């Protein structure tokens, strides 16, 4: 559901994962769905209403813009279908909670991107953490700073509306990585601002168009994790330099440098107590290419087997809750308690992916 820019990689990878078969592609602009269907060999292109009425469809992959994630997902659940949605789970906490409640009542599942934490890079980090190589986690630092997407995205206006901005758009990659490595967040404090009230698009086809900014574009905050670690996170569309580190986790016995959580690859680096430089950690897990759809494939297999899927709705809901807590803290000038929680997903087995999802690496 939704045949925009991000749909291409999902459709490309769906042809590789053994557990997913794409049988229909829908969009409000049916001609756009038809174009994607032709390019990727999807049997049917249709309207959203036709897709929801199709009895063969078991999971709706929701790739619509964030503002309608909840509306589309709730409609899919009402039609008796499981949902896997792009991040964020929803724009508002209330809609996210409603989605989880409806799914539970109907015996359906919700999955939520990002699934990059299942890639070879972050799964290697998970193995290092689980083996206690850096000792008790003490702190984490995470930075995502760019000057925004208006110089490359064909239609970037939505990035500057409620439910987007750097924290809603990129924050889920960083928060999901940190949450799966360190566990749930207990409370946050944050500050947010809008630096440029208007942005000019320089990408095609809308070059020269002006965007009115209606959401914070620089958000910085501190997180207290339930396990005791203290984390900092900065997300920004307001800086000109983009040469910034990504994520470091600092333990009592060393520091682990985390790869870009918007990717599936490394590098993973380790600096242990007594070392004088970084050591590269060989990746222990597969899925190091652009494997978007890995979480969907895992969810499909989990539905058949009855186990928990890894990129779950509760994890997506917790990330959404933390994002709102940053903004609430900025408005109120106080710490904000995070009420939601989740059960950390099981790590992927190391080595060969055979018998897990299929054949992409």
Residue 210 belongs to domain with CATH number: 3.30.360.10
Tens digit of each residue's pLDDT, the chain (361 residues): 999 989 999 999 998 898 999 999 999 999 999 999 999 999 999 999 999 999 999 999 999 999 999 999 999 999 999 999 999 999 999 999 999 999 999 999 999 999 999 999 999 999 999 999 999 999 999 999 999 999 999 999 999 999 899 999 999 999 999 999 999 999 999 999 999 999 999 999 999 999 999 999 999 999 999 999 999 999 999 999 877 778 999 999 999 999 999 999 999 999 999 999 999 999 999 999 999 999 999 999 999 999 999 999 999 999 999 999 999 999 999 999 999 999 999 999 987 554 444 444 3
Q: How far, in whole angstroms, is CA 49 from its chain's centroid?
A: 26
Residue 307 located in a structural domain:
no
Strands (E), the chain: 25-26, 45-46, 59-62, 82-85, 110-112, 137-145, 185-193, 198-200, 210-212, 218-225, 230-236, 247-251, 254-258, 269-272, 279-280, 336-337
Residue 74 located in a structural domain:
no
Distance, CA of 197 to CA of 330 (rounded, Å): 18
Residue 90 located in a structural domain:
no
Sequence-distant (6+) residues with CB within 8 A of 71 are none
Residue 111 located in a structural domain:
no
Residue 172 located in a structural domain:
yes
**Which residue range(s) make up the domain with 250?**
120-285
Residue 351 located in a structural domain:
no
Phi-psi sector, 312: left (phi>0), alpha (psi -120 to 50), beta: beta
Residue 159 located in a structural domain:
yes
Residue 102 located in a structural domain:
no
Backbone angles phi, psi at 152, to 5 degrees: -140, -25
Q: And the tokens for 261?
A: 């959580």
Closest to 73 in 3D by CA, of 87, 83, 86, 88: 83
Number of domains the chain is built from: 1
Inter-axis angle of helices 7-14 and 30-40, nearest 10: 40
Distance, CA of 42 to CA of 22 (rounded, Å): 6
């Amino acid at each position: 559901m939704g045949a925009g820019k991000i749909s291409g990689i999902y459709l490309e990878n769906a042809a590789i994962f053994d557990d997913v078969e794409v049988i229909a592609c829908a969009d409000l602009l049916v001609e756009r769905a038809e174009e994607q269907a032709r390019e990727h060999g999807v049997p049917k292109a249709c309207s959203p209403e036709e897709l929801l009425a199709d009895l063969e469809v078991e999971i709706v992959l929701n790739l619509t813009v964030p503002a309608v994630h909840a509306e589309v997902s709730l409609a899919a659940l009402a039609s008796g279908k499981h949902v896997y949605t792009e991040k964020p789970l929803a724009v508002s906490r209330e809609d996210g909670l409603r989605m989880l409640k409806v799914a539970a009542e109907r015996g359906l599942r919700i999955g939520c991107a990002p699934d990059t934490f299942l890639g070879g890079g972050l799964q290697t980090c998970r193995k290092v953490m689980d083996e206690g190589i850096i000792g008790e986690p003490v702190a984490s630092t995470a930075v995502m700073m760019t000057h925004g997407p208006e110089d490359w995205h064909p239609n970037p206006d939505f990035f500057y509306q409620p439910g987007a901005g750097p924290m809603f758009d990129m924050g889920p990659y960083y928060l999901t990585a940190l949450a799966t490595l360190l566990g749930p967040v207990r409370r946050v404090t944050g500050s947010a601002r809008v630096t440029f009230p208007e942005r000019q698009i320089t990408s095609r086809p809308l070059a020269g168009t002006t965007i009115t900014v209606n959401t914070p574009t620089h958000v910085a905050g501190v997180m207290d994790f339930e396990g005791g670690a203290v984390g900092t996170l900065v997300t920004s569309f307001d800086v000109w330099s983009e040469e910034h580190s990504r994520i470091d986790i600092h333990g009592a016995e060393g520091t682990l440098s985390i790869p870009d959580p918007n990717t599936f690859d490394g590098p993973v680096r380790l600096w242990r107590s007594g070392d004088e430089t970084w050591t590269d950690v060989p990746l222990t897990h597969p899925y190091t290419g652009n494997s978007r759809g890995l979480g969907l494939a895992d969810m499909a297999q989990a539905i058949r087997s009855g186990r928990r899927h890894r990129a779950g709705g509760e994890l997506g809901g917790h990330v959404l809750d933390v994002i709102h807590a940053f903004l609430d803290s900025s408005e109120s000038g106080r710490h904000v308690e995070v009420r939601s929680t989740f059960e950390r997903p099981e790590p992927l087995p190391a080595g060969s992916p055979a018998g897990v999802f299929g054949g992409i690496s």
